């Protein structure tokens, strides 16, 4: 039995489209508090992303003995700042105004846990250069983007109109969507799990 410890639409679709049989059960963690604690402890961005992925998988794994639980998380870093999901359109517009004309880094981490123990983890990175559009462009985007504004850490989803925000992208597409899928599938095959 495989469980994805996430309610992320993108992560669920990735696994479904890859032909995996799994169920979803979101982990109930105070991510903001965990991030704050790890930042205070001097942890690097990639370490924080990995920690969140492991903690999500571990929390669900403790509830479902013998299940293989996938945890995944994504962190956005720009100019040394870690950005989290916007709560509303206004916050999303503020975030986009901060990101415009700059290159930010997305780190997507993934972990596998069984019986409460982490058995594997990995990560992927991508660099995205946002256009330096005018205020009217970004306001139009915010009006049309819908739930992507609060559903994703960057206030965009690359698989929809969010692609309009970028002039250059370096990195794996699945990592940008929220999980280094190819690395995960490779590990799952080692566990004897495939389509």
If one counts every other C-beta atom within 10 angstroms of the C-beta of residue 190, the result is 9
Q: How confident is the model at residue 38 (pLDDT cuts 50, 70, 90)?
A: confident
Catalytic residue from among 30, 66, 73, 134? 73
CATH number of 2-190: 3.90.950.10
Where are the chain's structural domains?
2-190
The pTM score is: 0.91
73 among known catalytic residues = yes
For helices 135-145 and 89-99, angle between their N-to-C axes, nearest 10 degrees: 140
pLDDT digits 0-9 by tens, 130-188: 999 999 999 999 999 999 999 999 999 999 999 999 999 999 999 999 999 999 999 99
């Amino acid at each position: 039995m495989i469980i994805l410890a996430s309610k992320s639409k993108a992560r669920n679709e990735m696994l479904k489209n890859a032909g995996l049989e799994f169920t979803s059960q979101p982990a109930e963690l105070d991510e903001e508090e965990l991030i704050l604690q790890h930042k205070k402890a001097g942890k690097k961005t990639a370490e924080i992303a990995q920690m969140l992925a492991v903690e999500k998988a571990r929390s669900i794994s403790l509830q479902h003995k013998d299940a293989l639980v996938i945890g995944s998380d994504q962190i956005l870093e720009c100019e040394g700042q870690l950005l989290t999901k916007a709560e509303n359109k206004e916050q999303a517009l503020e975030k986009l105004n901060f990101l415009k004309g700059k290159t930010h880094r997305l780190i997507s981490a993934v972990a596998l846990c069984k019986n409460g123990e982490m058995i594997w983890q990995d990560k992927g990175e991508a660099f995205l250069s946002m256009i330096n559009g005018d205020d009217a462009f970004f306001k139009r985007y915010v009006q049309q983007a819908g739930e992507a504004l609060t559903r994703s850490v960057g206030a965009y989803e690359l698989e929809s109109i969010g692609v309009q925000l970028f002039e250059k992208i370096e990195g794996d597409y699945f990592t940008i969507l929220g999980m280094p899928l190819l690395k995960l599938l490779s590990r799952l095959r080692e566990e004897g799990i495939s389509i």
